[in-house]
Structure 1
Amino acid sequence: MERKHECCFSSPTLIAIAVSLILIAIARILYVLYRSGKPLRPKSPKPVSTLIVLGSGGHTAEMINVLTVLQKDWFSPRFYIAAATDNMSLQKARVLEDSWAHSTGGTGSPAKYMQIYRSREVGQSYLTSIGTTLFAIAHALWLMIVIRPQVVLCNGPGTCIPLCVIAFLFKVLGIRWSSIFYVESIARVKRLSLSGLLLYKLRIADQFFVQWPQLQKKYPRAHHVGCLM
């Protein structure tokens, strides 16, 4: 009788390979976490492609204020993303970009505006939100592949979570290094928002900023920048 074909790898070998891969993954994550805590210091003076996440409920107004104090020539091209049902935020971003273009005589890289599906709409059942969440994650993945930002700016809307998580995973996998800057809303005086808490606790944000000193005392890795409104 012919002998049965034996597997090329024995069980101990497979276990050793699995353990090695796990250790490599852990080492890579620790390296990303270590490097992510460093300030953004580009190797060249070239502008960096920037993804700006907008949101309703005052988030966009605060983000516009943040953008007005940035040296916009350093953050270019700019990609604005808002929820699929939030046309007002993108309109405000267009007004800001138009004012910049007018002041510079129309020079500079044109901004691009995109929309992303929400994981869950207000009032939507948790059961049906499973499917929409998976769809939103897939859409966020596609957007991040297309944009490939070097910098991500966000300040709390729920739409920033899948984008930031994917940006972090891209860093771990070596696909793209995106520096994530999170600015907590001025409305958060005593505790972080859910988005902020997730990005802070999971150490996804490279730089985390709060607008109230008591928040900085409660979350010591955050940077107090004062009121931006």
Structure 2
Amino acid sequence: MEDNYCCFYSKMVSKCSIGLVLISLAIVLMVRVLYVIYRCGKPLPKGASRSFSTLIVLGSGGHTAEMLSLLSVLRKDRFAPRFYIAAATDNMSLQKARSFEDSVAEKPVVKEASSQFTQIYRSREVGQSYVTSVWTTIVAIVHALWLMVRIRPQVILCNGPGTCIPLCVIAFLFKVLGIRWSSIFYVESVARVKKLSLSGLLLYHLKIADQFFVQWPQLQKKYPRAHYVGCLM
């Protein structure tokens, strides 16, 4: 009888210990998430590197044109090296990015060293069935994780394409885990006048973006944490 009681007591103690460890880990994780959210948007500390490796997410439609227009007014030496990413089925965006880099590069050596171009798998193509999209979503997430580990950007610039979501989520998780701190700057498309895009809604409400910019004053009133910067095009 005593042996059974001791065995039962040992199991209870073991379960309680595991439970306490899990609760402690959950508390630590929650505190870390709150700290990351608090730190998001804070200026970089003094003595930070003069230039920042920058990941630029391009998209079909007008997203790429808007992003290149934004890049044209940024200091190229401040945001370098630059890594351009577009969906695997979007060839035009990378061509435009290469043309942009050719137009701003003063020397071929500088151009080659300061910019790189790559593609990322989409989670789901237009018209793709939801059944097959489960596998493609897994592949896209793994690919995004590999790209983030390889590039390890200090700054991420995006303006709405769906391909930015897995990259930004992984960047946020890297912050929480202390792997890499990437400042995420999201600029909502000028086409969004009254309502944010799905990408914008996710990054805004989940507080993933460090800085969130809109180009119409009515959007800033509707989403008060956003910064109104006027039309950038």
Structure 2 length-normalised TM: 0.92
Provide closer, same or farther for how the CA distance between residues 70 and 9 of structure 1 changes in structure 2, counting only shifts above 3 A: farther
Question: What does residue range 155-166 of structure 1 map to in structure 2 within 5 Å?
Answer: 155-166=159-170
Match of 1:59 among 56, 63, 75: 63
Whether 2:89 is the aligned partner of 1:85: answer: yes
- 1:228 alignment counterpart: 232
- 1:100 alignment counterpart: 104
Distance 1:140 1:55 in 2: 15
| Higher share in helix | 2
Contact 1:39 1:207 in 2 (8 A): no
Question: Which 5+ residue runs of structure 1 have no aligned equivalent?
Answer: none
Whether 2:177 is the aligned partner of 1:173: answer: yes
Distance 1:180 1:168 in 2: 9
Could you tell me how far 1:106 is from its partner in structure 2? 5.0
Distance 2:57 2:49 in 1: 24
Matched residue count: 227
Could you tell me how far 1:182 is from its partner in structure 2? 0.2
3-state SS, counterpart of residue 77 of structure 2: helix
User: Percent sequence identity over matched residues?
Assistant: 69
- 2:220 alignment counterpart: 216
Deviations 1:131-160, CA, capped at 9 Å, x for gaps: 111110000000000000000000000000
Provide closer, same or farther for how the CA distance between residues 9 and 82 of structure 1 changes in structure 2, counting only shifts above 3 A: farther
- 1:33 alignment counterpart: 37
Match of 2:22 among 13, 18, 22: 18
**What letter matches 1:63 in structure 2?**
M
3-state SS, counterpart of residue 72 of structure 1: coil
**What letter matches 1:90 in structure 2?**
L
Root-mean-square deviation (CA, aligned residues, Å) is 2.0
Could you tell me how far 1:40 is from its partner in structure 2? 4.4
Question: What does residue range 178-189 of structure 1 map to in structure 2 within 5 Å?
Answer: 178-189=182-193
Could you tell me how far 1:43 is from its partner in structure 2? 3.1
Bigger Cα Rg: 2
Question: Which 5+ residue runs of structure 2 have no aligned equivalent?
Answer: none
Whether 2:195 is the aligned partner of 1:191: answer: yes
3-state SS, counterpart of residue 186 of structure 1: coil
3-state SS, counterpart of residue 107 of structure 1: helix
Distance 1:9 1:122 in 2: 53
